[in-house]
Structure 1
Amino acid sequence: MIIPSPLLPFKGANFYSLPEVSTFKDAIYECGLGHFDGLSGLFTKEGYLINQAAFFHHHPSETKGQPSWINPQSAKTYPVIETAIFAGHLHEQYGHYITEFLSRIWFLKKLNIKAPILVRSFKDLNEIFSYQWARDLFSLLGLEKKDFLCPDSPLRIKELLVPDALFAEQGYCYQHMAEFCHELGDMALSHLSEETITKNKNIYLSRSDLICGTIKIDNEKEFENELSKLGFLILHPEKLSIYEQISLFRNNNIVVGVLGSAFHTSIFTPAPEGVAINMKDFPDINYLAMDGINSSRIDYVVYDGLAPSTAPDYNFYATKTIRKPHQAASDIYEFVSKKREKFFIPNMGKRSTGYEVNSRFYKIKTRENYYVKIDSRTGNVCVDENKFTHDAVLFELDKKYNFLLSNHENITNVSLMGVAHSGPALSLTVFHNTDGKISLYDPNLDKYVCSLPRDQGGHLKCDAKKILPWEIYSLEKIEKKEISNSVDIICSIIALVFSNESWGNADYYINKYRDIFCYVYYLKNNNINENMLNYSSKINGYLAISSRNNTILQGKIITHRGAIGDVKTNDLIDTGQTFQSSIEGINITTFDTNYTLKYTVFVKDESWSEWTSEGEFAGTTGAGKTLSGYSAKLFDKNGQEISIVCHAKFMNDDKIYSYAGGSLFTSPHVSDLIGISICFA
């Protein structure tokens, strides 16, 4: 049986800003003796470890065996070079090559500087370049051995440039890491002929031919044979070029295998899909951090049909046996088939598996039997057939919400005549007629969508007051594989916003598709009725408090966060998911003179503050004291208290806590407050 793997509470931090390059004068390089020797590193002229050039791992983070200080006096006699650019650890192991070297080499396109590339390596450069996968990657990067400086003795550098690492083990990953690796992945595909590229396959990455490593399955060959019968393609990554390995995660393939370095290859592909079988207590945070900025649909699972082998191979850390290979193959096939058939919000390393969405996709036909199209130039909904028109897709969510989108490969606005607004999706109500046909209705206009005949322009227009023949359509169900990447993105955002789930990957969409995310919240707001008023969000720097009479009371909210400072951004935040950092104080102001807000905060390990009037700061700054609770009260202008609900999100706690306004609620786990929102009861 396949079950979701447990994950650690910390899943890696993701950053969307551009990385920086730091300059150090008279830096000291100590080559050391080997891994974790407590000797190697780059240091300032005063002898202090340069954190920007250090290697970190674990959570909480710590340096990988590097001293925090060396005696700078001894470095005065070291040989001196003029300049160098530090590019990390040129590692002989594939996964560490990506995390410790590729994560810094992004500067190649950013810095137009001719200088030696300084790397740390405990292997000779000739040995590193002897690995085919390394030569392939160096080729993509346009690098040769002569470009590198790998000293075997200490030295000083008059001017050292240190690009930020885009990735730190068990720590964080920048969005730019994915963007940079995607470019390399695109280049890799150009080295393959079209007929050699694997497409639309279920792929199993085998370890059965390895002679040493971490995990061995002693009856893996039997398991592979059962998977082959079910149509899986069995491949051995170590026998493929890096170009071929990268292509496996593209082209609608789903990659299955034991979790290991082969899954690091997914970073070269946007939105990869896979199933990683975890055989340790938890998946390493490294994979989750990369998934978080790559829109990944890689599910982390455990299989309960594994047992320790009775004949362990001591060339591996652990040897396992699959008790029932036939059943295991069947379970894997069923799991992968569901991934292909159903629509999931990408888990992006925030949860073990994707969130299945109750949804369907349709093409729409008019009474004249023409497919409804959308013109990519104008966004107009029509029935024209030309190179600029693409199928319209109707996305049905939870059997009650319906959205009209374009199936163009790029995100395209949709514009329906008679509807004042346009956007990447239009929200419509679907009426099911007695003959199995449907009609499209806009409740805001109280009008139906009419399809004009082709000889009258062929446009669709929302202006009909009742259902007549030209307001009747038929639906044709389409498979998930038929929708474009742009539809996938928009529908993921729609499902995320309308699901009311605290999913954890909202910050990815907010940062990468901010305008679309805001627009979808606008659509949700328009779908609010009197039974759906537990909705609160922060849009363009404003706290939106939903009203009982379907109006929105807006107000400005500022949170002071220890790691960031005052947050005054244009982010659209749902209960604090954008900033995973502790709140130390709050300042809220409502804009409606009919209401007044008061609030209090609980300073961790201390006490509740006095009730603070809106527009005033509650909490602390500069003292490193975080909050573990807050409460608020709302009054009308007669001083009558209005019932509200407070929502709180705490660090390392997936739950959103809701409680009545005025209640003095704190984290059950004494965790730091990271998100707040308020709505009418």
Structure 2
Amino acid sequence: MGSRARGGQAERRVGAPIRRGRVAPVTVAPVPPPPIAPPPPGRHMPPRTERDRMTTRLRRCRDWWGECALRDDLPVVREVADAVYLPHRFEGSWGVFGPDGRLGPDGVDGPSPDPAGLPAAPDGEYLYLGHLVPHYGHVIVDTLSRLWPLAGHDGPRPRLLIHTFDPLPAFGALDFLRAILGRLGLAPEDLVAFEEPVRIGRLIVPEPAFRAQVEAHAVFGTLCREIGAGFHDSAETDADARPLYLSKSRLATGIARIANEDDLVAELDRRGVEIAYPERLAFGEQVRLLSRRRLILGSTGSAFHTTIFAAPGRRVLGLNWMPAVNSNFALIDRLAGTTARYYHLDGTRYAPAEGFEFRWTIPDPRAVAAELVARAEAFDDLDARDGLARPRAGQGLRSYAGALRGRISRAAGRWRGA
């Protein structure tokens, strides 16, 4: 592999991704939408009424909160000899450091000890994953994005160096983390964190292949498809035409939730939509379920990120709490080959929520359910039908949405240990 000097450190390309460093984005051919399946035996689809017709209650989201750039090149990888690892401190610097200072975005700058005076970590190659938190969405966006050098790599596996506020054994209980690492020949037991400063003889520091709300490299999609391929069978792709709704109503903690989602779920269920609770399913079961369904409904959240592991070509109808959608969803949709349509609702109300940054209440959930089903039936025509239905955000909503976005950004910073 080639290398070049940069800032006193050696940069190199690690692993053997497809096409020796350039990965073509997935191209998904247009496929006719599946018909809405009839309800299961014993459940009757209510008669269509004027209320079932699409109205302007759901307004198409056409703006992104953040940037959305895709890149075909590989991120930079640094190989550092005698790097310094400083553990988390509530005051002072922490992170990994080379001769020229802190490596990567994680950590706090400050004076770094002379590596010659530090005890050495156990021998072996270490790959730095940054700050790790036990939250599915952040593992996908912030941690998995550092594992891209292992896409297509069949050599020895490194130890995974992290910073964390959580005890290492806690990560072994995370089904999704064990499943994802297992597909790469690793396990949560390969995670390493030190309680005292140490010298790392050989440290690999990859730049992330996914930068939240900024950009994503195509190799991140390649890595996720490689992981997901072990959990779904191409022969079962799109096998079930019944729409699937991913509910957050059983979640105990998170960023945001719909306060009256139970009412929405009840009406969707009555109309023949299957309801799933992702946190109750193993990671592999989620990937297989999404691969079998081409039409997936839900409110924006980490559960939608699982589409990047599923068979390409998913279709998503998402409810969003404000007119602008977090651009992470657009980045993942493009990498996954997903066709997604996101909607905001006029009359949405917001309030604090225990265990969440906030909750939002949707107006008339039964009517919203009817509109979602109608849009599912007319998925291919939504661009034309939604052409004039732009979100109407008054100054009060824009100001409040801005404040909530600030809370979400600060919460993300806390998750990342910033």
Q: 8 Å contact 2:132–2:163 — kept in the other structure?
A: yes
Aligned equivalent of 1:101 = 143
Aligned equivalent of 2:278 = 237
Could you say if the C-alpha distance between residues 271 and 91 of structure 1 is closer, same or farther in structure 2, counting changes exceeding 3 Å? farther
1:4 aligns with 2:60: yes
**How does 1:103-502 map onto structure 2 within 5 Å?**
103-108=145-150, 109-110=152-153, 112-189=155-232, 199-269=240-310, 270-280=312-322, 282-308=324-350, 313-339=353-379, 341-342=380-381, 355=383
1:22 aligns with 2:78: yes
CA distance in 1, matches of 2:210, 2:92: 22
Aligned equivalent of 2:390 = none
SS in structure 2 at match of 1:199: coil
CA distance in 2, matches of 1:194, 1:148: 34
Q: 8 Å contact 1:132–1:241 — kept in the other structure?
A: yes
CA distance in 2, matches of 1:355, 1:327: 21
For residues 93-138 of structure 1, the C-alpha deviation after alignment (integer angstroms, 9 at most, x for no partner) is 0001111221122323426245422222221221011122222223
CA distance in 1, matches of 2:297, 2:157: 42
Q: 8 Å contact 1:276–1:300 — kept in the other structure?
A: yes
For residues 119-164 of structure 1, the C-alpha deviation after alignment (integer angstroms, 9 at most, x for no partner) is 2222122101112222222332332244232222221122212233
For residues 174-199 of structure 1, the C-alpha deviation after alignment (integer angstroms, 9 at most, x for no partner) is 11111111121110126x9969x972
Q: 8 Å contact 1:173–1:289 — kept in the other structure?
A: yes
CA distance in 2, matches of 1:265, 1:286: 13
Q: 8 Å contact 2:294–2:313 — kept in the other structure?
A: no
Q: 8 Å contact 1:199–1:251 — kept in the other structure?
A: yes
CA distance in 2, matches of 1:19, 1:252: 33
Unaligned runs of 5+ in 2: 1-56, 386-418
Question: Residue 75 of structure 1: CA displacement?
Answer: 4.5
Q: 8 Å contact 2:159–2:190 — kept in the other structure?
A: yes
Richer in strand (by share): 1
CA distance in 2, matches of 1:254, 1:128: 32
Question: Residue 298 of structure 1: CA displacement?
Answer: 1.5
CA distance in 2, matches of 1:231, 1:126: 42
Richer in helix (by share): 2
Could you say if the C-alpha distance between residues 217 and 73 of structure 1 is closer, same or farther in structure 2, counting changes exceeding 3 Å? closer
Aligned equivalent of 1:84 = 126
For residues 516-538 of structure 1, the C-alpha deviation after alignment (integer angstroms, 9 at most, x for no partner) is xxxxxxxxxxxxxxxxxxxxxxx
For residues 221-272 of structure 1, the C-alpha deviation after alignment (integer angstroms, 9 at most, x for no partner) is 2211211122110111111111121223323421111111111112113232
SS in structure 1 at match of 2:200: strand
* Larger RCO (alpha carbons 8 Å, 6+ apart): 2
Question: Residue 314 of structure 1: CA displacement?
Answer: 3.0
> Which amino acid counterpart does residue 265 of structure 2 have in structure 1?
E
SS in structure 2 at match of 1:159: strand
Question: Residue 356 of structure 1: CA displacement?
Answer: 5.2
Question: Residue 313 of structure 1: CA displacement?
Answer: 4.1
CA distance in 2, matches of 1:137, 1:338: 35
CA distance in 2, matches of 1:95, 1:217: 18
Match of 1:33 among 73, 77, 89: 89
Could you say if the C-alpha distance between residues 79 and 142 of structure 1 is closer, same or farther in structure 2, counting changes exceeding 3 Å? same
CA distance in 2, matches of 1:252, 1:114: 34
SS in structure 1 at match of 2:292: coil
1:50 aligns with 2:99: no
CA distance in 1, matches of 2:126, 2:367: 56
SS in structure 2 at match of 1:72: coil
CA distance in 1, matches of 2:282, 2:65: 36
Identity %: 26
For residues 74-102 of structure 1, the C-alpha deviation after alignment (integer angstroms, 9 at most, x for no partner) is 55422123442223333200001111221
Question: Residue 280 of structure 1: CA displacement?
Answer: 3.8
CA distance in 2, matches of 1:213, 1:316: 5
Could you say if the C-alpha distance between residues 293 and 305 of structure 1 is closer, same or farther in structure 2, counting changes exceeding 3 Å? same
CA distance in 2, matches of 1:219, 1:330: 16
SS in structure 2 at match of 1:92: coil
CA distance in 1, matches of 2:159, 2:262: 47
Q: TM-score, normalised by structure 2?
A: 0.70
SS in structure 1 at match of 2:266: helix
Question: Residue 332 of structure 1: CA displacement?
Answer: 0.8
Q: CA RMSD in A?
A: 2.9
Q: TM-score, normalised by structure 1?
A: 0.44
CA distance in 1, matches of 2:67, 2:155: 35
- How many pairs align? 325
